[in-house]
Amino acid sequence: MDHTICYISKHAPALNDKVQEDLFSFILEHNPPKNITGILLSNQDFFLQVLEGNENILEELFNSIKKDNRHFQILTVLNQPIENRVFKDYRAGFSILQNRNEFSQLNNYLSLYDHDQNYPKNIKSLLEPFLI
């Protein structure tokens, strides 16, 4: 069975575009080979990340994420088993959204899901403030 971890965190004050781009490159290089799917959303103040994959791999990754000084005030929103991944078919399996068009595409993708399932419905609810 797969697992998900979703968290929200506040950007570090010194987080500039170059540091953020390096972070994005690192994530896209390291997460897909570990069969981690999900998304990372960033607005001017916050990150919201959804990770999906093997529980042990996610726990190890999340422990390192919590030590990362590029963000703080990390709030774990979800940390639970899931029956099906929401993001396995979204783009390359792991995406970083940075502009309004990408948010709109994600909103359209999530609208295709059967929202009788709790996990996709919860994810869409969490993402809505970022998608507006």
CA distances from 26 to 2, 12, 23, 29, 74 (A): 23, 18, 5, 5, 20
Q: How many domains does the chain have?
A: 1
Pure H helices in the chain: 17-30, 55-66, 100-111, 118-131
Task: Give residue 93's pLDDT.
Answer: 59
The domain of 92 spans: 2-131
Cα torsion for 16, 70, 78, 111, to the nearest 10°? Answer: 10
- Residue 118 carries which side chain, given as an amino acid letter? N
Per-residue pLDDT of the chain (132 residues; tens, 9 = 90+): 899 999 999 999 888 888 888 888 888 889 989 999 998 888 778 888 999 999 999 999 999 999 999 999 999 999 999 988 988 887 655 667 767 787 778 777 777 766 566 777 777 777 777 655
pTM for the whole thing? Answer: 0.82
Task: Give residue 62's pLDDT.
Answer: 97
Place of tokens 């991944």: 85
Place of tokens 């990372």: 40
Residue 90: which CATH number?
Answer: 3.30.70.100
Task: Give residue 22's pLDDT.
Answer: 87
